[in-house]
Amino acid sequence: MSEKFDYAKAIAELEEIAKKVENPETKLDDIDALVARSKDLLKQCRDYLRTVKERIDSIEE
């Protein structure tokens, strides 16, 4: 991770993805990328809750 992880942003993006996947008008071709992105975001969020942030911040700096 080169950029600092923004939990709130990630949650907002997940909400958007959920809405898009739920929307029947979303193209099938786009779904794959959305699902892959959601998996990535979910993992990052869950990790974030369980990670000592100070340490991560200092590594990033």
- The count of C-alpha atoms lying within 13 angstroms of the C-alpha of 5, restricted to the half-sphere facing its C-beta, is 23
Q: Least CB distance from residue 4 to other proteins, whole Å? A: 14
Backbone angles phi, psi at 28, to 5 degrees: -60, -35
Interaction of residue 12 with other proteins, rule CB under 8 A: no
Q: In terms of DSSP H, where are the helices of the chain?
A: 7-22, 28-49, 53-60
CB of 20 to other proteins, least distance (A): 9
Longest dimension (CA), the chain: 44
Out of 6, 15, 30, 40, the only residue in the binding site for other proteins (CB under 8 A) is 15
Q: Which residues bind other proteins (CB under 8 A)?
A: 7-8, 11, 14-15, 17-18, 21-22, 24, 28, 31, 34-35, 38, 42, 45-46, 49-54
